Amino acid sequence: MTRKDKLLKEYMTHPLIQDKYSITSTQIPKSVYEGISSSEPIIKAIAHIINEVEKYPGKSEVEVNQMIRKLLNKSLT
Q: How far apart are CA 43 and CA 38, in angstroms?
A: 6
**Can you tell me which of 22, 24, 26, 73 binds another protein, judged by CB under 8 A?**
73
**Can you tell me which of 30, 33, 37, 69 binds another protein, judged by CB under 8 A?**
69
Residue closest to 31 by CA, chosen among 10, 13, 4:
4
Q: How far apart are CA 48 and CA 20, in angstroms?
A: 20
Residues that bind another protein (CB under 8 A): 3, 6-7, 10-11, 13-14, 16-17, 20, 41-42, 45-46, 49-50, 53, 61, 64-65, 68-69, 72-73, 76-77
